[in-house]
Structure 1
Amino acid sequence: MNQAKSSIAPATTAVLLGFGFFFTTSGVKIRVAPKAWQRAKARIRSLTSRRWSVAMEYRIMRLNQYVRGWMGYFRLADTPASSGIWMSGSAVDCAKSAGRNGNASAPRSRTCVHSGSGPTWPGNGA
Protein backbone atom coordinates (compact mmCIF):
# COMPACT_ATOMS: atom_id res chain seq x y z
CA MET A 1 0.00 0.00 0.00
CA ASN A 2 1.32 3.43 -0.95
CA GLN A 3 1.34 5.57 2.22
CA ALA A 4 1.68 8.82 0.23
CA LYS A 5 -1.54 8.13 -1.69
CA SER A 6 -3.52 6.62 1.18
CA SER A 7 -5.19 8.50 3.98
CA ILE A 8 -8.08 8.47 6.40
CA ALA A 9 -10.00 11.74 6.39
CA PRO A 10 -13.49 13.06 7.06
CA ALA A 11 -15.78 12.89 4.03
CA THR A 12 -15.94 16.69 3.78
CA THR A 13 -12.18 16.87 3.12
CA ALA A 14 -11.65 13.57 1.30
CA VAL A 15 -10.96 13.65 -2.44
CA LEU A 16 -11.26 10.67 -4.76
CA LEU A 17 -10.36 10.91 -8.46
CA GLY A 18 -11.15 14.64 -8.54
CA PHE A 19 -14.45 14.31 -6.69
CA GLY A 20 -15.20 15.69 -3.23
CA PHE A 21 -18.19 15.26 -0.96
CA PHE A 22 -20.41 17.57 1.07
CA PHE A 23 -23.36 17.14 3.36
CA THR A 24 -26.82 18.65 2.97
CA THR A 25 -30.07 18.13 4.81
CA SER A 26 -31.01 15.56 2.15
CA GLY A 27 -27.75 13.60 2.54
CA VAL A 28 -24.27 13.39 1.08
CA LYS A 29 -23.67 14.92 -2.35
CA ILE A 30 -20.80 14.74 -4.81
CA ARG A 31 -18.91 17.81 -5.97
CA VAL A 32 -15.86 18.63 -8.05
CA ALA A 33 -12.84 18.87 -5.78
CA PRO A 34 -11.43 22.41 -5.51
CA LYS A 35 -8.04 21.33 -6.89
CA ALA A 36 -9.70 19.75 -9.96
CA TRP A 37 -11.75 22.92 -10.47
CA GLN A 38 -8.59 25.06 -10.30
CA ARG A 39 -6.87 22.83 -12.89
CA ALA A 40 -9.91 23.12 -15.19
CA LYS A 41 -9.92 26.91 -14.87
CA ALA A 42 -6.20 27.06 -15.63
CA ARG A 43 -6.66 24.88 -18.71
CA ILE A 44 -9.55 27.01 -19.97
CA ARG A 45 -7.45 30.13 -19.42
CA SER A 46 -4.66 28.62 -21.52
CA LEU A 47 -7.09 27.60 -24.27
CA THR A 48 -8.62 31.09 -24.37
CA SER A 49 -5.37 33.01 -23.97
CA ARG A 50 -4.74 35.67 -26.57
CA ARG A 51 -1.07 34.72 -26.48
CA TRP A 52 -1.95 31.47 -28.25
CA SER A 53 -1.97 32.63 -31.88
CA VAL A 54 -4.23 30.13 -33.62
CA ALA A 55 -7.35 30.47 -35.73
CA MET A 56 -10.54 31.07 -33.76
CA GLU A 57 -12.15 27.94 -35.28
CA TYR A 58 -9.29 25.77 -34.01
CA ARG A 59 -9.39 27.43 -30.57
CA ILE A 60 -13.14 26.82 -30.28
CA MET A 61 -12.73 23.21 -31.42
CA ARG A 62 -10.07 22.54 -28.74
CA LEU A 63 -12.10 24.36 -26.07
CA ASN A 64 -15.20 22.33 -26.96
CA GLN A 65 -13.22 19.09 -26.79
CA TYR A 66 -11.86 19.93 -23.36
CA VAL A 67 -15.13 21.20 -21.87
CA ARG A 68 -17.16 18.27 -23.23
CA GLY A 69 -14.66 15.77 -21.81
CA TRP A 70 -14.50 17.56 -18.47
CA MET A 71 -18.28 17.82 -18.17
CA GLY A 72 -18.63 14.17 -19.17
CA TYR A 73 -16.18 13.06 -16.50
CA PHE A 74 -17.75 15.19 -13.75
CA ARG A 75 -21.39 14.65 -14.81
CA LEU A 76 -22.19 12.97 -11.47
CA ALA A 77 -21.12 16.02 -9.48
CA ASP A 78 -23.66 18.53 -8.20
CA THR A 79 -21.99 21.45 -9.94
CA PRO A 80 -23.64 24.87 -9.54
CA ALA A 81 -24.80 26.72 -12.63
CA SER A 82 -22.13 29.36 -11.99
CA SER A 83 -19.48 26.97 -13.35
CA GLY A 84 -21.08 27.04 -16.81
CA ILE A 85 -21.40 30.80 -16.62
CA TRP A 86 -17.68 31.10 -15.78
CA MET A 87 -16.68 28.81 -18.65
CA SER A 88 -18.82 30.57 -21.23
CA GLY A 89 -17.71 33.98 -19.95
CA SER A 90 -14.06 33.09 -20.48
CA ALA A 91 -14.70 32.04 -24.08
CA VAL A 92 -16.82 35.13 -24.79
CA ASP A 93 -14.14 37.45 -23.41
CA CYS A 94 -11.60 35.81 -25.68
CA ALA A 95 -13.86 36.03 -28.74
CA LYS A 96 -14.58 39.70 -28.08
CA SER A 97 -10.91 40.55 -27.77
CA ALA A 98 -10.08 38.66 -30.97
CA GLY A 99 -12.83 40.58 -32.76
CA ARG A 100 -11.46 43.92 -31.53
CA ASN A 101 -7.97 43.04 -32.72
CA GLY A 102 -9.03 41.44 -35.99
CA ASN A 103 -7.31 38.17 -35.04
CA ALA A 104 -6.41 36.04 -32.05
CA SER A 105 -3.09 37.74 -31.37
CA ALA A 106 -2.56 40.54 -28.85
CA PRO A 107 0.21 42.27 -26.94
CA ARG A 108 2.24 39.84 -24.82
CA SER A 109 1.34 41.51 -21.52
CA ARG A 110 -2.40 40.78 -21.75
CA THR A 111 -4.24 37.49 -21.63
CA CYS A 112 -7.86 36.62 -22.10
CA VAL A 113 -8.96 35.63 -18.58
CA HIS A 114 -12.40 35.83 -17.04
CA SER A 115 -12.15 37.11 -13.48
CA GLY A 116 -15.08 35.11 -12.06
CA SER A 117 -14.51 33.21 -8.85
CA GLY A 118 -16.05 29.93 -10.04
CA PRO A 119 -18.60 27.78 -8.27
CA THR A 120 -19.14 27.60 -4.54
CA TRP A 121 -20.43 24.69 -2.49
CA PRO A 122 -21.34 24.29 1.12
CA GLY A 123 -18.24 23.27 3.02
CA ASN A 124 -15.53 24.54 0.65
CA GLY A 125 -15.04 27.84 2.45
CA ALA A 126 -16.96 29.99 0.01
Structure 2
Amino acid sequence: MRQSYSNSAEVTLVFTVSTRKVAIAKDKGRELTTRSKGWSIAHRLYRLNQYLTGWCGYFALMDTQSVFHELDKWIRRRLRMGVWKDWKLSKTRKRKLVGFGVPRGKVYEWAYSRKSYWRISGSPILKKTLDNSYWNRLGLCSLYQRYQYLHQS
Protein backbone atom coordinates (compact mmCIF):
# COMPACT_ATOMS: atom_id res chain seq x y z
CA MET A 1 0.00 0.00 0.00
CA ARG A 2 1.28 3.43 -0.80
CA GLN A 3 -0.13 6.89 -0.22
CA SER A 4 -0.69 9.25 -3.09
CA TYR A 5 -1.05 12.99 -2.58
CA SER A 6 -2.77 15.43 -4.88
CA ASN A 7 -2.81 19.23 -4.96
CA SER A 8 -5.79 19.33 -2.63
CA ALA A 9 -5.60 18.38 1.04
CA GLU A 10 -7.01 14.87 0.52
CA VAL A 11 -4.93 11.73 0.65
CA THR A 12 -5.61 8.88 -1.75
CA LEU A 13 -4.59 5.35 -0.85
CA VAL A 14 -3.30 3.19 -3.69
CA PHE A 15 -3.12 -0.54 -3.08
CA THR A 16 -0.38 -2.42 -4.89
CA VAL A 17 0.79 -6.01 -5.10
CA SER A 18 4.00 -6.47 -3.14
CA THR A 19 7.09 -7.69 -4.93
CA ARG A 20 7.20 -10.64 -2.55
CA LYS A 21 3.76 -11.79 -3.69
CA VAL A 22 4.78 -11.45 -7.34
CA ALA A 23 7.90 -13.52 -6.61
CA ILE A 24 5.72 -16.21 -4.97
CA ALA A 25 3.43 -16.22 -8.02
CA LYS A 26 6.47 -16.63 -10.31
CA ASP A 27 7.74 -19.52 -8.18
CA LYS A 28 4.36 -21.21 -8.46
CA GLY A 29 4.37 -20.48 -12.20
CA ARG A 30 7.76 -22.16 -12.50
CA GLU A 31 6.41 -25.17 -10.63
CA LEU A 32 3.32 -25.41 -12.87
CA THR A 33 5.20 -24.95 -16.15
CA THR A 34 8.04 -27.34 -15.41
CA ARG A 35 8.60 -30.14 -17.88
CA SER A 36 9.75 -32.65 -15.25
CA LYS A 37 6.24 -33.65 -14.19
CA GLY A 38 5.33 -35.33 -17.48
CA TRP A 39 2.14 -33.30 -17.96
CA SER A 40 0.72 -32.56 -21.38
CA ILE A 41 0.56 -28.91 -22.44
CA ALA A 42 -3.24 -29.02 -22.01
CA HIS A 43 -2.96 -30.21 -18.41
CA ARG A 44 -0.20 -27.69 -17.72
CA LEU A 45 -2.41 -24.87 -18.99
CA TYR A 46 -5.40 -26.18 -17.04
CA ARG A 47 -3.45 -26.13 -13.76
CA LEU A 48 -1.92 -22.75 -14.59
CA ASN A 49 -5.36 -21.29 -15.36
CA GLN A 50 -6.70 -22.55 -12.03
CA TYR A 51 -3.90 -20.88 -10.10
CA LEU A 52 -3.88 -17.62 -12.07
CA THR A 53 -7.65 -17.20 -11.91
CA GLY A 54 -7.51 -17.46 -8.12
CA TRP A 55 -4.49 -15.18 -7.87
CA CYS A 56 -6.12 -12.59 -10.08
CA GLY A 57 -9.38 -12.81 -8.16
CA TYR A 58 -7.53 -12.16 -4.91
CA PHE A 59 -5.48 -9.22 -6.17
CA ALA A 60 -8.04 -7.73 -8.59
CA LEU A 61 -8.80 -4.84 -6.24
CA MET A 62 -5.23 -3.57 -6.49
CA ASP A 63 -4.52 -0.57 -8.69
CA THR A 64 -1.52 -2.04 -10.51
CA GLN A 65 -2.42 -3.27 -13.93
CA SER A 66 1.25 -3.19 -14.91
CA VAL A 67 1.98 -6.03 -12.47
CA PHE A 68 -0.67 -8.18 -14.12
CA HIS A 69 0.56 -7.27 -17.60
CA GLU A 70 4.20 -8.08 -16.75
CA LEU A 71 3.26 -11.36 -15.06
CA ASP A 72 1.15 -12.30 -18.08
CA LYS A 73 4.10 -11.63 -20.41
CA TRP A 74 6.42 -13.63 -18.14
CA ILE A 75 4.06 -16.64 -18.12
CA ARG A 76 3.78 -16.69 -21.91
CA ARG A 77 7.57 -16.44 -22.22
CA ARG A 78 7.98 -19.30 -19.75
CA LEU A 79 5.57 -21.41 -21.80
CA ARG A 80 7.40 -20.54 -25.03
CA MET A 81 10.61 -21.69 -23.38
CA GLY A 82 9.00 -25.03 -22.54
CA VAL A 83 7.76 -25.49 -26.09
CA TRP A 84 11.22 -24.65 -27.47
CA LYS A 85 12.73 -27.26 -25.14
CA ASP A 86 10.15 -29.78 -26.36
CA TRP A 87 11.36 -29.14 -29.91
CA LYS A 88 14.72 -30.46 -28.77
CA LEU A 89 16.34 -31.36 -32.10
CA SER A 90 17.25 -28.77 -34.71
CA LYS A 91 15.35 -30.64 -37.40
CA THR A 92 12.22 -30.61 -35.21
CA ARG A 93 12.63 -26.87 -34.66
CA LYS A 94 13.02 -26.34 -38.41
CA ARG A 95 9.93 -28.39 -39.21
CA LYS A 96 7.79 -26.66 -36.57
CA LEU A 97 8.92 -23.14 -37.52
CA VAL A 98 8.26 -23.81 -41.20
CA GLY A 99 4.84 -25.16 -40.22
CA PHE A 100 4.11 -21.87 -38.48
CA GLY A 101 5.05 -19.94 -41.62
CA VAL A 102 8.41 -18.48 -40.62
CA PRO A 103 10.59 -17.52 -43.65
CA ARG A 104 13.27 -20.09 -44.53
CA GLY A 105 16.22 -17.79 -43.77
CA LYS A 106 14.97 -17.12 -40.27
CA VAL A 107 14.13 -20.78 -39.73
CA TYR A 108 17.76 -21.83 -40.20
CA GLU A 109 19.01 -18.87 -38.19
CA TRP A 110 16.91 -19.78 -35.15
CA ALA A 111 16.71 -23.58 -35.43
CA TYR A 112 20.49 -23.89 -35.19
CA SER A 113 20.92 -21.15 -32.60
CA ARG A 114 23.08 -21.93 -29.59
CA LYS A 115 21.46 -19.29 -27.42
CA SER A 116 19.84 -20.29 -24.14
CA TYR A 117 16.23 -21.45 -24.00
CA TRP A 118 15.21 -18.36 -22.03
CA ARG A 119 16.86 -16.01 -24.51
CA ILE A 120 15.25 -17.73 -27.50
CA SER A 121 11.85 -17.59 -25.80
CA GLY A 122 12.10 -13.78 -25.88
CA SER A 123 13.15 -13.66 -29.53
CA PRO A 124 10.96 -11.88 -32.10
CA ILE A 125 10.60 -15.07 -34.14
CA LEU A 126 9.19 -17.13 -31.28
CA LYS A 127 7.06 -14.23 -30.05
CA LYS A 128 5.42 -13.97 -33.48
CA THR A 129 5.16 -17.72 -33.92
CA LEU A 130 3.77 -18.58 -30.48
CA ASP A 131 1.81 -15.38 -29.96
CA ASN A 132 -1.20 -14.64 -27.75
CA SER A 133 -3.67 -16.11 -30.22
CA TYR A 134 -1.74 -19.41 -30.16
CA TRP A 135 -1.99 -19.62 -26.37
CA ASN A 136 -5.65 -18.54 -26.42
CA ARG A 137 -6.41 -21.40 -28.85
CA LEU A 138 -4.70 -23.83 -26.48
CA GLY A 139 -6.79 -22.52 -23.58
CA LEU A 140 -4.53 -20.15 -21.64
CA CYS A 141 -6.54 -17.39 -19.98
CA SER A 142 -4.86 -14.01 -20.11
CA LEU A 143 -4.16 -12.71 -16.62
CA TYR A 144 -4.21 -9.10 -17.83
CA GLN A 145 -7.57 -9.45 -19.61
CA ARG A 146 -9.02 -11.17 -16.53
CA TYR A 147 -7.75 -8.32 -14.36
CA GLN A 148 -9.34 -5.73 -16.66
CA TYR A 149 -12.64 -7.61 -16.61
CA LEU A 150 -12.68 -7.93 -12.80
CA HIS A 151 -11.49 -4.38 -12.26
CA GLN A 152 -14.37 -2.97 -14.35
CA SER A 153 -17.09 -4.71 -12.37
TM-score (normalizing by structure 2): 0.47
Identity %: 29
- How far residue 87 of structure 1 moved from its aligned partner, in angstroms, is 2.3
Tell me which residue corresponds to 1:32: 17
Structure having the larger proportion of residues in helix: 2
1:55 and 2:40 are equivalent in the alignment:
yes
C-alpha contact 1:45 1:113 (8 A) present in aligned 2: no
Q: 1:89 aligns with which of 49, 70, 77?
A: 77
Gaps of 5+ in 1: 1-20, 103-111, 117-126
Which residue does 1:22 correspond to in 2?
Answer: 2
Corresponding residue of 2:151: none
* Unaligned runs of at least 5 residues, structure 2: 7-11, 93-116, 123-153
Structure 1 residues 57-107: Cα deviation after superposition (integer angstroms, max 9, x where no partner): 1111101111111111110112312222122222222233224478xxxxx
Summarize the Cα distance change of 1:53–1:86 in structure 2 as closer, same or farther, 3 Å threshold. Answer: same
For residues 39-70 of structure 1, the C-alpha deviation after alignment (integer angstroms, 9 at most, x for no partner) is: 11100001111222111111111011111111
Q: Over alpha carbons, which structure has the higher Rg?
A: 2
Does the CA contact (< 8 Å) of 1:94 and 1:113 recur in 2? Answer: no
Q: Per-residue deviation at 1:113?
A: 6.8
After superposing the two structures, state which structure 1 stretch, 57-66 or 84-93, moved more. Answer: 84-93
Give the aligned residue type for 1:24: S
Task: Give the TM-score normalised by the residue count of structure 1.
Answer: 0.56
Amino acid at match of 1:55: S
| Pair 61,113 (structure 1): closer, same or farther in 2 beyond 3 Å | farther
Equivalent positions of 1:62-73 (< 5 A) are 62-73=47-58
SS of the residue corresponding to residue 32 of structure 1 reads: coil
The structure richer in strand per residue is 1
